[in-house]
Structure 1
């Protein structure tokens, strides 16, 4: 028994459409998991909480969300020596950027300049991720 070509093409198109909505829940899951990890980090007090990191949130109103997440991935990567959970946050941000942006290739370069404490960075990042989950 053979399947006519138009029917086969229709089935292929439908299969492709079914796969697309699955990316939204995966994105939401990555965001929620990152928020959970950030909350755990903010509750844990360690000596390097006051470590200075690049403040990617200072004066960057022109940056889009993917650029912010890409830069945040870089800062998370650089801060892994302080908190082991930062590796999970880095990997989640990396996946989000790779999935959502054809322009940015994480980790993105961050310009030296304004700095903030690691704790402040983590709090700001959590607020950005919470805004993205709601939106």
Structure 2
């Protein structure tokens, strides 16, 4: 029993498309879950809201999205002492970087310099993630 070549090619193309779609859905899920965690954190009164963290958004005109996410992974991991959701966000961002970038290896170094409150950092991060979901 032989299968015609056009049928085999069609099956091959469909299986490749499903793998790509599954990867996109996983990426989307990491982004959406991180946005959800950020929203919960921003609605919750935590004692370290005013804690200063490195402001990776101050001069990110030269940074691409993956570099911003890589730096955000570092900042959220360091802020994990404040709230466990930050570690969850950091893990999600780490998974995104591993799936999407061969250049960046998280956690990325973050230069000391400008600082901002943790709350402002989280607002900016949520805005970036929401933009990425729309794209």
User: TM (normalized to structure 1)?
Assistant: 0.90
1:94 & 1:15 partners in 2: Cα distance? 27
**2:125 & 2:18 partners in 1: Cα distance?**
32
Q: Secondary structure at the match of 2:62?
A: coil
Unaligned runs of 5+ in 2: none
Partner of 2:108: 108
Q: Tell me which residue corresponds to 1:48.
A: 48
Once the two structures are TM-superposed, the CA of residue 3 in structure 1 deviates from its matched residue by 7.2
- Give the distance between the partners of 1:24 and 1:50, measured in 2 at CA: 35
Q: How does 1:1-135 map to 2 (within 5 A)?
A: 10=9, 11=11, 14-135=14-135
Instruction: Supply the RMSD in Å over aligned alpha carbons.
Output: 1.8
TM-score normalised per structure 2: 0.90
Q: Distance between the aligned counterparts of 2:97 and 2:82, measured in 1?
A: 23
CA distance in 2, matches of 1:15, 1:127: 34
Task: Return 5+ residue gaps in structure 1 as ranges.
Answer: none
Write the deviation string for residues 32-76 of structure 1: whole angstroms up to 9, x where unpaired.
Answer: 110000000011112111111000000111100000000000000
Distance 1:129 1:31 in 2: 6
